[in-house]
Amino acid sequence: MTGFADIQRQVMWNRLIAVVEEQAQTMIRTAFSTTVREAGDLSAGIFDLDGRMLAQAVTGTPGHVNSMMESVGHFLRKFPAATMQPGDHYITNDPWLGTGHLHDLTVVTPAFHRGRIVGLFANTAHVIDVGGLGFGPEGRSVFEEGLYIPIVKCFDRGVANETFFDILRAASRLPVELEGDVYSLCACNDDGARRLARMLEEFALDGLAPLADFIFANSLRATDAAIAALPRGTWRAALHSDGYESPVALHAALTVDEAGIAVDFAGTSGLSSRGINVPPAYTRAYAAFGIKVVVAPDVPNNWASLRRFHFTIPEGCILNAPRPYPVAVRHVIGQLLPDLVMGCLHQAVPDRVAAEGSSALWNPPLRGGGAVSGQAGGNRRVPPDFEIITFNSGGTGARRRLDGLDGTAFPSGVRTMPVEATENAAPVVFWRKELRPDSAGAGRTRGGFGQIMEIAAKDDLEFAVNAVFDRVANAPRGRDGGGDGAAGAVALKSGTTLRAKGFQIIPEGDRLMLLLPGGGGMGKAAERDRALVARDVRDGLVSPQAARELYHFDPEQSQ
C-alpha cells in the first residue's frame, strides 16, 4: 500500500521534472541561435553529486540528453563537486566528453542550498558556428571541424573568464551569437538552481539524496518489470545508410535475458575518412532511446531507467569513432540507430514497433557571401556574408494502428523551423515548403509524408549548401508487407542532381531543391480503409495513379 511519504516523493519527482523543463524554457527564451530558439535542439537535466541524472526536461533531444548522462561524470573527474563554488560554470564541446560533435556546447553548473552543494544542472545546445569548415561532412579530422574546447571554467564565482570568451569570439563567424548562446546556457542552469532551492525550501529538504533514492529505485523497478514481460532470445537486424565515400552497413544483435537488454553492433561498417563517424556515447544515446520507446516508454528517463541497457560497439567501426576522427555530422548515422534496434525488437514485440522513417534530420547548412563567391566584380553581385542552418524532417514510419507523422522529426524530436525565422536571420528565400505527394509508404497504415523545399539566396544570388542528407540511396522500409517510403533527393531547380553530402555551390539564378523522404508503411496496402485512401487523394497527397497501383482503389469509381 502506498504511504503518504511515497505520495509526497512522487509529487516532488514531478516537481523536479517541472524545474528542469523551466530550465530548458529559459534557454529557449534567451538563446541567440535559431537552432535553439526555433528548433529546440537542446537538452536540460539535473544530476546528483555522483553525476547520475535524476530528471530531464521534456523539451530536448535523446542524442543530447542521453549523451549528457555520461558527460557530467567527465566534468566531475576534472572538477570534483567539493571544489565547486556558487557562480561557477563549466563548459566543453569535446565530442568524446560531451554529446558527439563540436557544434554542441555542454555547460555544467553546481546548485547550492543553505550554503552547501546539493546537485548539478547540465544542458547542451547546438550552436550555428564554431569556426573551422563549418557544419558539414567535409573535415578529415575533428581539428578541421571547428574550435575544440576542453572542459574549462567559463565563469568563476560569477565572473566571466574573459580569456575564454576572447578565444571563443575569435574562432567563430558569428561571434555575437556564439557568446550570447554561452550566456544563455549558463543563465538557464542558474534558473534551474534557483528553482531547485525554492523547491527544497518548500519541502523542508536539506538535499536531494532521499528523493534520488526514491526516483532511482522506482525507475529501476518499473524498467525491470517491463523487460521481464518481454520474450527471451536474440534477434538480429541490418540497415543501410548512404554513407559518404561508400554505403554504410549497420548491424545489431539484440539479446533479452535476466541481466537486461544487450545490443552488439558487430558487423557494422568501418570508420569513414569524413565527418559521418559516431562517437560511442552518441551511439549509446540513440540506441538506448530506440529500446526505451518500445520497452518502457512510460518510465521517466534517468540514470536508473537506462541501467539495464548494455552495448558492445566494436573498435574500428563507424559507431565507435576514436579521436581525432571527424564527427561533425554524426547524426546522419546515429539517428538511424532507433530504426536499427527496432528492427530487432519488431521480431520480439511486433505490435509495439513502427516502420522505418526519414529518421536522420534534413538540416541544410547554408552559406553565402565572399567566402563562397569571392569578391564582386563587373556586373557580378555577391550576397552579404551569412551562415544559417534550418531544421526539417521527412515523414515518420507508420504505426500499428495509426499513420506516420508528416514532416516530423523522429527520433531527434526537434521542431521544424518556421521559414519566416530563417528568412529573418539570413538573406535566403523559401519559395516552396510543402508536403511531398506520393512520398508516404503504402500500407494498412501509411507512412508520414516527406516535404518539398525550394531554397534560394535573396535576389537569386549564388550561395552554398553543405549537404548533410541521408535516405537518398536507401529509402525508409515498411514493415509487415507495408511499402517503402520515397527516397530523398537533392538537386538544382534547373535539373542537375547534387550529392547528398558535401559542400556544393548553388549558381546565381538557380535554386536548391530538397525532396525529403517519406516514412515506410505498415501492413498490406489492400487492407487500408478505402475512405482514408479517398481522403488522401482528395487532399492531393496521393495521386489517382498511386491510389490505383498501390491501393487498387479507383478514385473515379468511388465518386
Give the domain ranges of the chain: 4-219, 354-528
What confidence score (pLDDT) does residue 4 get?
Answer: 77
- Between β-strands 116-126 and 42-47, what pairing exists: parallel, antiparallel or unpaired? antiparallel
In total, the chain counts a number of residues equal to 559
What confidence score (pLDDT) does residue 1 get?
Answer: 45
What CA–CA distances, in Å, run from 170 to 83, 150, 152, 181, 405? 30, 17, 17, 15, 42
Per the CB < 8 A criterion, the answer to whether 457 and 423 are in contact is no
What confidence score (pLDDT) does residue 376 get?
Answer: 62
Pick among 1.10.760, 2.30.30, 3.30.450, 3.30.720: CATH of 4-219: 3.30.450
Phi, psi of 551 (to 5 degrees): -110, -5
Residues of the chain with pLDDT below 70 are 1-2, 376-380, 558-559
Q: Which of 44, 64, 63, 70 is nearest to 55 (CA)?
A: 44
- Collapsing DSSP to helix, strand or coil, 119 comes out as strand
Rounded to an integer, what distance in angstroms lies between the CA atom of residue 480 and that of residue 186?
48
Strand order in the sheet with 386-389: 386-389, 365-368, 463-468, 501-506
What confidence score (pLDDT) does residue 558 get?
Answer: 63
